[in-house]
Chain A
Amino acid sequence: MPDNSVNAHGADHAGNTALAEHPSYLRHHFNSVEQQADATNFAMWLFLLTEVMFFGGLFTAYLIYRNWFYQAFVAGSHQLNVIWGTTNTVVLILSSFTMAMGVWCAETRRKNGLVLCLTLTFILGLAFLGIKTIEYREKIEMHHVPGFHYSLQSFLDPESNPEVFKEYHDKPLAPDMARHTELYFSLYFLMTGMHALHMIIGIGILAFMIIRARAGAYTSGHVTFVENFGLYWHFVDIIWIYLFALLYLISRH
């Protein structure tokens, strides 16, 4: 609700007296609400650009090594669980939808709607991490974690893993090539792990936002924070879609 703190700072800024509206959330160094929203929004896009460069380093490493050790990367990719991967993609896209609805609720000042949407996003985010944990557990059981008793058995003798063999009929890799599957799994854990870290940070911020939204924040006209978080969430979602395509799908024929 626009409250009586309007013009709280107006008096001591000579340059601003012409402004009709000077709500409490307008920080002193901005001239108008639009300028403030514009600036923070632009800052968020720039921040996402730095994230693109950060992940860019990993994508570069992935593309180079995939090119060099193609067979190892295909065989490694076959060990991933596409069903869980697809489920997770659906979960994340759904969460992006609920997040977008949340931003809409904030803009149209629907407090209950906003709390509901944020909570749903929060739950979907947790669901994603839960499924990722199941996948990681599978990898640990198969000794596919680089640096921790990494085992080449599934690549030297594909038939030892009947479920995967049934689907792909992989030929055994030469020992020299099989060794490079470790590189595939290194990149798999790095990229999905870095993505999961971003999810965890996002979920933390979501929890904070839910508490604030219940107290009535974001639905009284100042929606920049929700909007910017929405951008972050969609960005993390997009990163996953690339990861899903590059790690799970690209080697299925």
Chain B
Amino acid sequence: MSTNTIVSLPDQSTARIPKDNFLTRENGLLSWLLTGDHKRIAILYLISISFFFFIGGALAGLIRLELLTPQTDLMATDTYNKVFTMHGIIMIFFFLVPSVPATLGNFFIPMMIGAKDLALPKVNLLSWYLYIAGGILALVTMATGGVDTGWTFTTPLSTHYVNTNVLTTGLAVFIAGFSSILTGLNFIVTIHKMRAPGMTWFRMPLFIWSHYAASILMVLATPVVAIAIVLVALERTIGIGVFDPTKGGDPLLFQHLFWFYSHPAVYIMILPGMGVISEVISTFSRKRVFGYTAVAFSSVAIAVFGFFVWAHHMFIMGISNYSVLVFSLLTMLVAVPSAIKIFNWTFTLYKGSITFETPMIYAFGFMGLFTIGGMTGVFLGSSGTDIHLTETYFIVAHFHFVMVGGMLMAFLSGIHFWWPKITGRMYPEKISQMAAVVTFIGFNLTFFPQFILGALGMPRRYASYPPEFQILNVFSTAGATILGVGYLLPVLYLIWSLKYGAIAGSNPWQATGLEWQTQSPPLTENFAVMPIMDHEAYDYEWLEKQQQAQKKTEVTSAG
């Protein structure tokens, strides 16, 4: 493993971090809080998102601790309801939805297409402030009593029965939704209008394609959940009756409006992660992504199909049998573009010169776990199995395989992959490889038993369970502990690397993206000279020629 590497670092005795870069150009807290620079906003997002991730993670820890024993001993059942609700809300709206797009996307979309910034820098900053406002409101809500509807705000529970902070939590999600809309809008405009000369649609890295697809979902789906939340709030306060059967309204309408957003939202959460994986797999197998066009269009196809499958969350909620049939069929269709991606990544690996740096280990984790998550999604998409498995731990395991095993692995892969570019310094390789493996083991130990628990019939959202399920729950809780270590390690060594990491140079991975052809950390305006894209994406021969030409000029100038 260690002998075989593509990492090429500059001579550490002479290398220096460039004096002028986006981190040093201006100083002081205000230069960060009022910045329009997409890279600084990305770092603001990275810090705040990590903060919310660990709050959500702590809540997950509490859930697993309660489930260690069959009785309700750690907390009362209504506290348990609040804990899993807040875990869901924080992880979904304040971590998963903005995770890769708002940090890595924000940082690298302009750089990859050769632009100086996103098209609307002020809107970009506004979206961070909205995110923070929503996040603080959610935390205040949690501190002042919390909410116990589940993250889905299901009516009539949320409108008529519970006495917790539904309104403020709804408002928090509403505000965070606006943040997400503005991010998506900014990305679409940037990708359309800010590309460097020669950067045609089919020369863009696949990272851009997947963000483009996710942005379409953010822009089109999020307003629908916004109106759904407004309706819940009005139903709860003045009783407008839209979701109230006693007045002729229908709670099912809420489900339709909510899942019209929340199903596409899972693709908002996973698509940017798939973009990261495309970059990482190509770089560490030294090959152009196999079937570039197919992978690009599969992102768009996932976005399009994603809009037509929402009712598969409602198979047991009394929709008609014909709806079930149609939505079940459409759900199966989403598996096709997802499989195209997995197959194409596998073919990219085939006969590639594979090396196992940390981002690649995480990427392998992603491929395995996402495949399991995706396949179990097909089980759940077929209505017969779904009726047996829905509302059990099978569902919990399924979406954690996709979201945590998929998106979180991709997020960590991307963070390690671009860390040298963002900070100018390498993370420590050995310990991070270990962390990646620990995460993988911890993850499987946590969530694989939950598939079995679900198939055996253990329902989700209860604080207690029959004693015969305990052994598997103990496995799961033990796994969660390992997983926690796996997530804390990167925080420690990444912070360590800010000061002590090896100096990375501009292109430590020998990667082809435009973002690697400039200094690390980049200049505030990204490129000293506006780049011109004169080759395809992932063209390693071009890179080689480029480097040989550079060496030649160095030799001649030295001579």
Residues of A within 8 A of B (CB): 13-15, 27-29, 31, 35, 38-40, 42-43, 46-47, 49-51, 53-58, 60-61, 64-65, 68-69, 72, 146-148, 179-180, 182-183, 186-187, 189-190
Q: Looking at the complex, which one of A29, A53, A147, A182 makes contact with B121 (CB distance below 8 Å)?
A: A29
- When A13-B525, A35-B193, A50-B185 are in contact, do A29 and B116 touch as well, CB less than 8 Å? yes
Digitize B211-248: 1 where CB-to-A-CB distance is under 8 Å, 0 elsewhere. 00000000111111011100100100011111000011
When distances are taken between beta carbons in the complex, the residues of chain B under 8 Å from A189 are 240
Contact between chains at B529 and A14 (CB < 8 Å): yes
Contact between chains at B117 and A29 (CB < 8 Å): yes
Contact between chains at B241 and A146 (CB < 8 Å): yes
A148 to B234, CA, bound (A): 13
- When A54-B223, A146-B241 are in contact, do A39 and B193 touch as well, CB less than 8 Å? yes
CB distance from A64 to the nearest CB of B (A): 7
A selection of 23 A-B contacts at a CB cut-off of 8 Å is A14-B530, A15-B529, A39-B120, A39-B189, A39-B193, A43-B123, A50-B219, A53-B221, A53-B224, A54-B226, A56-B223, A57-B224, A61-B231, A64-B250, A64-B253, A69-B248, A147-B240, A182-B247, A183-B241, A183-B247, A183-B248, A186-B234, A190-B234
When distances are taken between beta carbons in the complex, the residues of chain B under 8 Å from A56 are 223-224, 227
Digitize B439-452: 1 where CB-to-A-CB distance is under 8 Å, 0 elsewhere. 00000000000000
Contact between chains at A50 and B181 (CB < 8 Å): yes
B281: CB under 8 A from chain A? no
A-B contact number at CB 8 A: 118
CB distance from B279 to the nearest CB of A (A): 24
CB distance from B247 to the nearest CB of A (A): 6
CB distance from A44 to the nearest CB of B (A): 10
CB distance from A4 to the nearest CB of B (A): 24
Q: Looking at the complex, which one of B219, B224, B241, B528 makes contact with A186 (CB distance below 8 Å)?
A: B241
Q: Assuming A13-B525, A183-B248, A183-B249, what are 7 further A-B pairs, CB within 8 angstroms?
A: A14-B528, A28-B117, A42-B192, A42-B193, A61-B257, A180-B247, A182-B241
- Closest-by-CB residue of A relative to B117 is A29
A64 to B525, CA, bound (A): 52
When distances are taken between beta carbons in the complex, the residues of chain A under 8 Å from B220 are 49-50, 53
When distances are taken between beta carbons in the complex, the residues of chain B under 8 Å from A148 are 238
B303: CB under 8 A from chain A? no
Contact between chains at B248 and A179 (CB < 8 Å): yes
**A-B complex: 3 closest residue pairs judged by Cβ atoms:** A15-B530, A147-B238, A57-B227
CB distance from B449 to the nearest CB of A (A): 39
Contact between chains at A46 and B240 (CB < 8 Å): no
A57 to B241, CA, bound (A): 15
Contact between chains at B193 and A38 (CB < 8 Å): yes
A46 to B220, CA, bound (A): 9
CB distance from B356 to the nearest CB of A (A): 38
Contact between chains at A68 and B185 (CB < 8 Å): no
Q: Looking at the complex, which one of A46, A57, A180 makes contact with B185 (CB distance below 8 Å)?
A: A46
Contact between chains at A40 and B247 (CB < 8 Å): no
CB distance from A174 to the nearest CB of B (A): 13
Q: Is the interface of B mostly helix, strand, loop or mixed?
A: helix
CB distance from A60 to the nearest CB of B (A): 8
CB distance from A71 to the nearest CB of B (A): 12
A51 to B222, CA, bound (A): 10
B59: CB under 8 A from chain A? no
Q: Looking at the complex, which one of B116, B223, B226, B248 makes contact with A28 (CB distance below 8 Å)?
A: B116
B194: CB under 8 A from chain A? yes
B91: CB under 8 A from chain A? no
Contact between chains at B115 and A29 (CB < 8 Å): yes
CB distance from B219 to the nearest CB of A (A): 6
Q: Looking at the complex, which one of A13, A15, A42 makes contact with B189 (CB distance below 8 Å)?
A: A42
CB distance from A168 to the nearest CB of B (A): 22
Q: Looking at the complex, which one of A49, A61, A179 makes contact with B219 (CB distance below 8 Å)?
A: A49
Q: Looking at the complex, which one of B190, B223, B231 makes contact with A51 (CB distance below 8 Å)?
A: B223
CB distance from B163 to the nearest CB of A (A): 19
When distances are taken between beta carbons in the complex, the residues of chain B under 8 Å from A28 are 116-117, 525
Q: Looking at the complex, which one of B188, B231, B529 makes contact with A46 (CB distance below 8 Å)?
A: B188
When distances are taken between beta carbons in the complex, the residues of chain A under 8 Å from B190 are 39
- Closest-by-CB residue of B relative to A56 is B224
Q: Looking at the complex, which one of B119, B257, B528 makes contact with A57 (CB distance below 8 Å)?
A: B257
A189 to B241, CA, bound (A): 12
When distances are taken between beta carbons in the complex, the residues of chain A under 8 Å from B123 are 43
- Closest-by-CB residue of A relative to B238 is A147
CB distance from A125 to the nearest CB of B (A): 23
When distances are taken between beta carbons in the complex, the residues of chain B under 8 Å from A39 are 119-120, 189-190, 192-194
When distances are taken between beta carbons in the complex, the residues of chain B under 8 Å from A183 are 241-242, 247-249
CB distance from A239 to the nearest CB of B (A): 13
A49 to B242, CA, bound (A): 24
CB distance from B196 to the nearest CB of A (A): 9
A14 to B531, CA, bound (A): 11
Contact between chains at B253 and A190 (CB < 8 Å): no
A55 to B223, CA, bound (A): 8
Contact between chains at B119 and A190 (CB < 8 Å): no
CB distance from B202 to the nearest CB of A (A): 21
Most chain B beta-carbon contacts within 10 A, residue among A31, A53, A65, A189: A53
When distances are taken between beta carbons in the complex, the residues of chain A under 8 Å from B194 are 29, 35, 39
CB distance from A34 to the nearest CB of B (A): 10
Contact between chains at A146 and B238 (CB < 8 Å): yes
- Closest-by-CB residue of A relative to B116 is A29
| B445-471 contacts to A (CB < 8 Å) | none
- Closest-by-CB residue of B relative to A43 is B189
A38 to B119, CA, bound (A): 10
- Closest-by-CB residue of B relative to A189 is B240
CB distance from B248 to the nearest CB of A (A): 4
A38 to B228, CA, bound (A): 33
Most chain B beta-carbon contacts within 10 A, residue among A50, A56, A179: A50
When distances are taken between beta carbons in the complex, the residues of chain A under 8 Å from B224 are 53-54, 56-57
Contact between chains at B223 and A50 (CB < 8 Å): yes
When distances are taken between beta carbons in the complex, the residues of chain A under 8 Å from B116 are 28-29
A183 to B240, CA, bound (A): 7
When distances are taken between beta carbons in the complex, the residues of chain A under 8 Å from B223 are 50-51, 53-54, 56-57
CB distance from A55 to the nearest CB of B (A): 8
CB distance from A32 to the nearest CB of B (A): 11
CB distance from A197 to the nearest CB of B (A): 11
- Closest-by-CB residue of A relative to B244 is A183
